Chain A
Amino acid sequence: MDRTQVLASLSEIMRDVLDDPSVTLTPTTAASDIEGWDSMTNITFVVEVERRFGVKFRTAEIEEMHNVGDMLDMIASKTAA
């Protein structure tokens, strides 16, 4: 799965989590850009991403995710064969 496809599935997951079909994520999207993306939403999002991609983020990694691009990088490094 390339970066574009991963980004597309992140958007899809966030649409589910927020129940808002208009949400589209880009690598520069941060939580503050999206209405309703609070800490609860964030954890639901992170847990669902972990499940979908079969990865587990460490506490420090979750803390260091400042935007969607950070998350894409981490998924890429964890799923690299």
Chain B
Amino acid sequence: MPAIRIAALRRGLWLTTYAGEYGQYARELLDPGSGLHAFQPTAVLFALDAQHLLAGFDVAEPADVSTRRLDELVDSLGRHWHTARAAFGCAVLQQTVPPLFPTLLGNNEHRVPGSAAGVVAALNGRLRERADAEGVDIVALDAQVAQDGLRAWHDPVLWHSAKQEVHPAAAPMYGELVSRLLAAGQGCVAKCLALDLDNTLWGGVVGDDGLDGIVLGQGSALGEAYVAFQRYARDLSRRGVILAVCSKNDEVNALEPFERHPEMVLRRDDIACFAANWTDKPANLRQIAENLSIGLDALVFADDNPFERALVRRELPMVAVPELPADPALYAHCIAAAGYFEGVRLTKEDAERTQLYQANALRETLRASATDLDGYLRSLEMEMRWRRFDALGQARIVQLINKTNQFNLTTRRISESEVAALIAEPRTLTLQIRLLDRFGDNGVIAIVIGRMLTPDTHHMLLDTWLMSCRVLGRQVEEATLNLVASEARRLGAARLVGQYRPTAKNGMVREHYPKLGFAPLSEMPAGATQWVLPLDGYVARPTFIRTIED
């Protein structure tokens, strides 16, 4: 019982409990002078043990006798449910029977009339039918035992020693199952699954890898795992869970797979609220909740990125954030096992809910709202480690330069031999930058190449500046500028000249240089722009990142 109370507290329910005296439940229900009547419960849980329920069944008896016994047993339970409800007007919960009996025949146990193992299986089916007819909710011990294994739930030694059917180690899970139902009865359940996109619904980064480059669908085991997760999300939405998208992406890139990728299971219509932008995720989740007119505590946020999960947990502790495993094949199980979306009945509105919410959400658009990030960024203990280009990093440098589309100011591609030439050229600024934080090493996440312009050697032209979108919003841009400024000065530069060359994918960095304090210098053909920053009197931008030469 403490396990039930604790699990209920986790859902914001304060529970007082009363346990009937051992073996006295029938009397307590009927006797107006009993402790149970004095207690006046708002919910009654029938947790009857298997030995008690199966008393009277006999393996030697003919099949029709056994069937009749089963009918009588279910009828008698049904009468108890009625009695409880008539006396207290309360919710009624009935636990199923865990499959704890050894088999007599084996695989085809159902052919032995009166066998305990066979009766348990039949009884659980009948309990469900009757419970549905009577409006009683089932605590599915049998299904949970199937997930966890019987050994996790039942030890025959404890049964014989103390009539303890549920192992104490399984008690927390038992309490969890019961409290989920009690909370669902109070409407305390999650209503919306907010999904990240890149590496959550498909493999890869659509803005960088392109529509053809993301991993999704037939032809790869990983791609099929993402399809399976999408199917799970879609099925949830069909039974009434609202789906939302919360992704750091240009909206046009984020929408492309939904509209054009043949293997996508989820379609734009399945998503009631679509937030793909560069605002931080807590702000977007607030907006999603507001657009859908639901509480933040009704949101479950699924994201593969530990940084985003930790940020949301910190900023919005009321949002449920499952610790998704590294393998997308396990995402659906992880979310299902947590019981966020426990429901007790299905309505026609459930099936139409996404459309309803979508109509509401369309009227509003996402806008930024302030989340105080400073405390979080400070707590990350970020460390930027940099080196000049070197042979060791060459392969990753080439890959990053040729793959990055979104946070890429000039989108100049490069070959192995060009990088090799740069390694041997000390007058050129070449930076490969890693970011470490308390979650670990993010790897090389930014590249900068700066060339001294001739004949005026005091100008350094920033030929390439790119960054992985995984580390957006973490002041890496500012810390990189501080580093570029000091290294450029060391190489004799007096000014930095930055270029922005627009492509279909890099709209997010259009304002990169002005945001960092560069002044406009000139317009160039095809919408490109040039910007300048004098280094004389440059003051390092404040960040929470420690910069170290590696």
Contacts and interface: CB of A to CB of B under 8 A. Distances in A.
Interface of A: 39-40, 42-44, 46-48, 51, 57-59, 62-63
Contacts of A62: 157, 161
- 3 closest Cβ contacts across the A-B interface? A43-B162, A39-B162, A62-B161
A40 B157 contact: no
A42 B162 contact: yes
B424 interface: no
B127 to A, nearest CB: 26
27 contacts: A39-B162, A39-B163, A40-B162, A40-B164, A42-B162, A43-B158, A43-B161, A43-B162, A43-B164, A43-B168, A44-B168, A46-B161, A47-B158, A47-B167, A47-B168, A47-B169, A48-B168, A51-B169, A57-B157, A58-B157, A59-B156, A59-B157, A59-B160, A59-B161, A62-B157, A62-B161, A63-B161
Question: Which of A47, A62, A63 has the most CB atoms of chain B within a 10 A radius of its CB?
Answer: A47
A55 to B, nearest CB: 12
Given A62-B157, A62-B161, 14 more contacts: A39-B163, A40-B164, A43-B158, A43-B161, A43-B162, A43-B164, A47-B167, A47-B168, A51-B169, A58-B157, A59-B156, A59-B157, A59-B160, A59-B161
Interface of B: 156-158, 160-164, 167-169
Looking at chain B's contact residues, is the secondary structure mostly helix, strand, loop, or mixed?
Answer: helix
Contacts of B161: 43, 46, 59, 62-63
A3 B114 CA distance: 50
A41 to B, nearest CB: 10
A51 B168 CA distance: 11
Nearest to B158: A43
Nearest to A47: B168
Contacts of A51: 169
B31 to A, nearest CB: 24
Contacts of B164: 40, 43
Nearest to A51: B169
A43 B161 CA distance: 8
B156 to A, nearest CB: 8
A62 B167 CA distance: 16
A80 B162 CA distance: 28
Contacts of A40: 162, 164
A64 to B, nearest CB: 11
Contacts of A57: 157
Nearest to B2: A19
